[in-house]
Structure formats: structure tokens, C-alpha cells
A and B are shown apart, each in its own frame.
Chain A
């Protein structure tokens, strides 16, 4: 059983203001922060979410062959004045465009050096035709997705914002194995 002294001391302590003697009661703050840290650690996914980036794809350009299709073109800005394509295979990159009566350049390989050359060439084309921001990428069937992303990355660095992925005409299903 508590003595009279202890009981009166306890009552005084209960009645004492929070800021008595210049002190602030930090216990509730510490409790709240502990809860925040606990649930943050429990639900943390920030690293994996922040680590993502995206490439938005445009639809490939449509070649107008009939008067009906031509009538559907709404304005002059919908018409491409330069057809620019990059063909990607496992051993070569081919850059083609329709400017100046046609242009074609092949870049051997698909390594960092070849990608650097591609970026330099595409930057040059971008400066030559500043109104054109669109490029069509046509990978071969057996090219790995990783390599396609590296090509898209270099095109983005060269200043092309309208990037579309095209496919070659084919009839059968896709191969099941991984890319080489």
C-alpha cells in the first residue's frame, strides 16, 4: 500500500502541466515515430518503384495508298515529311530515311560502340531535319528485348520523342526460347 507521501507526489505529478519546469513530454512523439518507422519498414516498396522508367510507344505511321485514306488526314502536321526507320538485327543496325532521295547506313554490331555510333548518327539526322521527331524501330524476330530497349534509349538521347515499334509481316507463332 502506497504511503500518503507517495500518493500526494503522484497526484502532484499528474496535475503538473506538460511544460512544467521547461520540459516537453516527448513520449507520445516517440510512440508516433516508432509506429511510423515500423509500418514504413513493413510496407516499403519505394526502391523498386522509384527504380522504374518507361518508354511510351507511338503507333507506327500509316502509308496512305487510297484517296479515302488521304481524306481522313485531318491536318498537314499529321503528315510525315520524313520516313525514318532503324532496323535492328543481332549483328547490325540499319538506319534508313527518305530525305534527299533516300539514305541508308549500316552500323556493324549491337554493342556499346555500335550504339554510340547510332546515337551520333541519329543526333545528326535530328539536327538535319529538326521538324521530325518520329522514328520507326523494326527489330528482327530473334533480337532480345534488352537490346531493343538499348536502341530505344539511344534514340531518346538523340532527341526523338515519337518512337514506334514496327513488325515485319509474318504468318506463324513466335518462337518459345529465349533470345540469343
Chain B
């Protein structure tokens, strides 16, 4: 008698059906955003105002501290100086004629911040790569100054990020071009 009453009480709470629609909705959202962030989340964006050169090969361009060289020189999206000023800036170190002092100061701040976060001794070179996104019309002497300034600030690993071009490389090998 008591057992029958107890069974009748529990019968009220028996699940007769389970609404799976919210579960499906949530899973759709999770799968979508998981796929999106897994494929493009760690990749690097293009610095605005920079016309990048194009290449068919190269490694995946991952999100890194980026030095942008367009009309403005930017570090991590923050404008440092105009490119014209950077090209004209004289070095203040006679032993390092390629140094760009304002850019060096900004890079030292960024490098010291990384050193503090990674507990690396001050003055030690960093393994964290610095990505460079430069305008394709830039002369090499300016790029050389930028790279040298970055290395003096502690960034020994540099990565040149360019636009990826699809399709095969034009492999016209003209033997007449060699002498």
C-alpha cells in the first residue's frame, strides 16, 4: 500500500519526453565558433594602409607583435612616427648608424614588457618573433634600418609578412638571362 503510493508519487516526476532543441541550438553555436576560432583566430590581420607584396609560398602568418611600415610606422597598431621621418632620422649612436631612435625607444618598451611577462633578464634577446608588414614600394635601405633597430631592441627573430597569392609561380626559366 505504502509502496504503491510512493510509486504513484514518483510517477508524477517521470520524464516522458526530453526537449532537445535548445541543446541542438547551443551545440550549433559552439561548433560554429570553435571552427571559426580554430582556423582564423590565431592568424595575423593586415596593418591598415599598407600595400603588401605578394608571394605564393611561405609559412602561416600567425598573430605576433607587428611592425607596420606604410605612410606611418606602427608598432602593435600604435603609430610611432611617419615613414618619411623614420627614413630621415639620424642615429644617435655612432657605432650603430642604422638606428632609428624614436622607433628604438618604442621597441625597447615593448621588448621590456615581454621580458617582464616571460621573466627574461633585461638585455637578453627575445625568442618572440616580430612580424614586419611593409609597403611593397619601400626601399631596402629603410627596411634594413628597421630590422637593425628591431635587433638592437632585442628582437632577434624577424618575420616578413606578405599577401598570399594563389596559383602556381610563373616558373619561366630563361637560360639566356644568365651569363
Contacts and interface: CB of A to CB of B under 8 A. Distances in A.
Interface of A: 17-19, 24-25, 28-29, 31-33, 36, 40, 45-46, 48-57, 59, 105-109, 112-114, 116-117, 119-121, 139-146, 148-150, 152-154, 156-157, 165, 167, 170-179
Contacts of A148: 140, 143
A36 B29 contact: yes
Contacts of A52: 43-44, 46, 52, 61, 161-164
Interface residues of B, number: 72
B148 A53 contact: no
A172 B24 CA distance: 66
The A interface is mostly helix, strand or loop, or mixed, namely mixed
Contacts of A57: 147, 157-160
Contact of A112 (B55, B87, B89, B172): B172
Given A56-B158, A149-B54, 6 more contacts: A28-B22, A107-B177, A116-B170, A119-B173, A141-B140, A143-B140
Contacts of B98: 167, 170
Interface stretch (B6-14, B107-115, B131-139): B131-139
A104 to B, nearest CB: 11
A55 B159 contact: yes
Contact of A117 (B135, B161, B175): B175
Contact of B177 (A29, A32, A113): A113
B88 interface: yes
A45 B135 contact: no
A152 B160 contact: yes
